[in-house]
Amino acid sequence: MTAESPQRQTPDSLMLFGFWYRALPSDQLSRNRMKKAMLLETPLVIGRDRQGHAFALRDACPHRGMPLSCGHFDGQQLECSYHGWKFDAHSGQCQLIPSLTADQDLKVDRIYAGSFACEERDDFIWVFVPEPGPTGAGFTKRDQPGISTPHVPTFSDRYKLAYLTADLPCSVDHGIIGLMDPAHGPFVHQAWWWRSRSSIHQKQKNFEPIPNGFRMSAHTPSSNSAPYKLLRLYASADSITTTIDFVLPNLRLETIRAGKYWFSSLTTVTPITRNQCRIDVVAAWNIFRWMPFGPGLLKFVFAKFVEQDRKTMEDQSAGLKHNPHLMLIDDADRPAKWYFQLKAAHLEARRTGAELRHPMAGPVTLRWRS
Ligand code: FES
Ligand SMILES: [Fe+2]
């Protein structure tokens, strides 16, 4: 028998169209204002109308390409700064072309600035980025997406919500596999209250396939970390269970439940360009509700984690710039392998119109030291 040698793998940094993506935090956009944003190399102008409803348009005038974000927005219509064409902010439909004379019968209402489905959910403005249409198809009315926006799981009526966001100078693939990688914890996230290198021990977790992703099955979190010890004490619950899901294209959902208390988060890694992404974490919880320092402390802890990951990926990007060969090893990198296989299966399913062929045949137990 020959020992299995690690396979060389290179992320393809393909970005997946046809999904909802977080564009920007709700509180960064006030009424009657617009902001530039970039998703999957698509420049957007995101705005909020007089009534407070968000909208998203391609940041390019259908006339001669002037960014619409350079123009004027009155809370209802956008006026291009170049020749003054006016567009409805939500539909993108052209309302006015000032240069037309009374006898010129160009059908103004058949002209559209590219518009995107846009929804607000859990403190973020989400935009649906469809498959790019055939070039030259022109600017027409958009279709409604067939899927709804992802949301943070909640388990009671009252809860608190907070978000964190950080730019990562790497492709969405590296951002995502960095997020699901269990082996970097003791090295990147060293802190006295969390864990140290000397606490590295063998772990075993069960995984199962779920639609468009996989789940780390409900388990009792590692007993050697302080936050969980604290939670167990606080909730005086016999059992604390954690479930972590990854779902295409970029969603990581974590749910911790301890009796009537719960904590959940939806983390997304959003492709901005081919080699730039952004991590957004939105957490919801009903624990520490009446303790004034609760949310602040929680945010502090989370911010620390995200900053450690961000710094690591920034350093890593210096190495990746020169296209080194990479490898993924078992079992610690198996989730990363599943991610790439899921992505390939998704693209294949889109191409053929067939069902997605899930790379996992059934439940799998992975073992690693961390
Ligand atoms: S480029 Fe926008 S109106 Fe001409
Ligand atoms: Fe991390």
Q: Which atom of ligand 1 is nearest to the CA of 85?
A: 3
Domain range holding 232? 160-369
Whether the predicted pLDDT of 10 surpasses 90:
no
Q: Which ligand is the nearest neighbour of the Cα of 252?
A: 2
With beta carbons less than 8 A apart as the criterion, state whether 23 and 126 touch. Answer: yes
What's the pLDDT tens digit per position in 161-173?
Answer: 989 999 999 999 9
Nearest partner of 316 among 195, 188, 197, 191, judged by Cα: 188
The pTM (predicted TM-score) of the whole model is 0.91
Q: Which atom of ligand 1 is nearest to the CA of 71?
A: 2
**Cis ω before 245 (30° cut-off from 0):** no
For ligand 1, is residue 139 a contact (CB within 6 Å)?
Answer: no
How many domains would you assign to the chain? Answer: 2
Domain end point (choices 106, 129, 152): 129
Start-end of H helices in the chain: 172-179, 185-188, 226-235, 294-320, 334-352
- Say if 142 falls within a structural domain: no
With beta carbons less than 8 A apart as the criterion, state whether 129 and 17 touch. Answer: yes
Angle at 107 between CA 104 and CA 110, to 5 degrees: 160
- Say if 150 falls within a structural domain: no
Whether the predicted pLDDT of 12 surpasses 70:
no
CA of 314 relative to ligand 2 center, distance in Å: 13
- Say if 96 falls within a structural domain: yes
Domain end point (choices 75, 108, 129): 129
Long-range contacts of 183-189 (CB under 8 A, 24+ apart): 183/332, 183/333, 183/368, 183/369, 183/370, 184/312, 185/370, 186/370, 188/308, 188/309, 188/312, 189/305, 189/308
Same domain, 197 and 272: yes
- Say if 144 falls within a structural domain: no
At 356 the pLDDT is 96
What's the pLDDT tens digit per position in 190-244?
Answer: 765 556 667 788 999 999 999 999 999 887 766 555 556 666 666 666 678 889 9
- Say if 10 falls within a structural domain: no
CATH code, 353: 3.90.380.10
Same domain, 219 and 346: yes
Same domain, 225 and 340: yes
Same domain, 115 and 239: no
What's the pLDDT tens digit per position in 266-300?
Answer: 999 999 999 899 999 999 988 765 555 566 777 77
Q: Which atom of ligand 1 is nearest to the CA of 84?
A: 3
For ligand 1, is residue 260 a contact (CB within 6 Å)?
Answer: no
259 pLDDT band, cuts 50/70/90, is: confident
Q: Whose CA is nearest to atom 3 of ligand 1?
A: 83
Same domain, 186 and 317: yes
At 11 the pLDDT is 55
CATH code, 24: 2.102.10.10
Mean pLDDT check: name the lowest of 34-38, 75-79, 326-330.
326-330
- Say if 145 falls within a structural domain: no
For ligand 1, is residue 63 a contact (CB within 6 Å)?
Answer: yes
Domain end point (choices 112, 129, 146): 129
Same domain, 114 and 199: no
With beta carbons less than 8 A apart as the criterion, state whether 224 and 241 touch. Answer: no
Same domain, 170 and 121: no
Q: Which ligand is the nearest neighbour of the Cα of 60?
A: 1
At 1 the pLDDT is 37
With beta carbons less than 8 A apart as the criterion, state whether 59 and 67 touch. Answer: yes
168's tokens: 């990562």
With beta carbons less than 8 A apart as the criterion, state whether 50 and 33 touch. Answer: no
For ligand 1, is residue 68 a contact (CB within 6 Å)?
Answer: no
- Say if 184 falls within a structural domain: yes
CA of 306 relative to ligand 2 center, distance in Å: 7
Same domain, 183 and 99: no
CA of 200 relative to ligand 1 center, distance in Å: 61
Q: What is the CA radius of gyration of the chain?
A: 23
Instruction: Give the H or E element holding residue 206.
Output: strand 202-210
Whether the predicted pLDDT of 6 surpasses 60:
no
- Say if 134 falls within a structural domain: no
CA of 79 relative to ligand 1 center, distance in Å: 9
Q: Whose CA is nearest to atom 1 of ligand 1?
A: 64
Same domain, 224 and 95: no
Same domain, 124 and 190: no
Bridge partners for 22 per DSSP? 126
Same domain, 123 and 165: no
Same domain, 59 and 164: no
Task: Pick from 73, 77, 79, 82 the residue to mutate for probing ligand 1's pocket: most ligand atoms within 8 Å of its CB.
Answer: 82
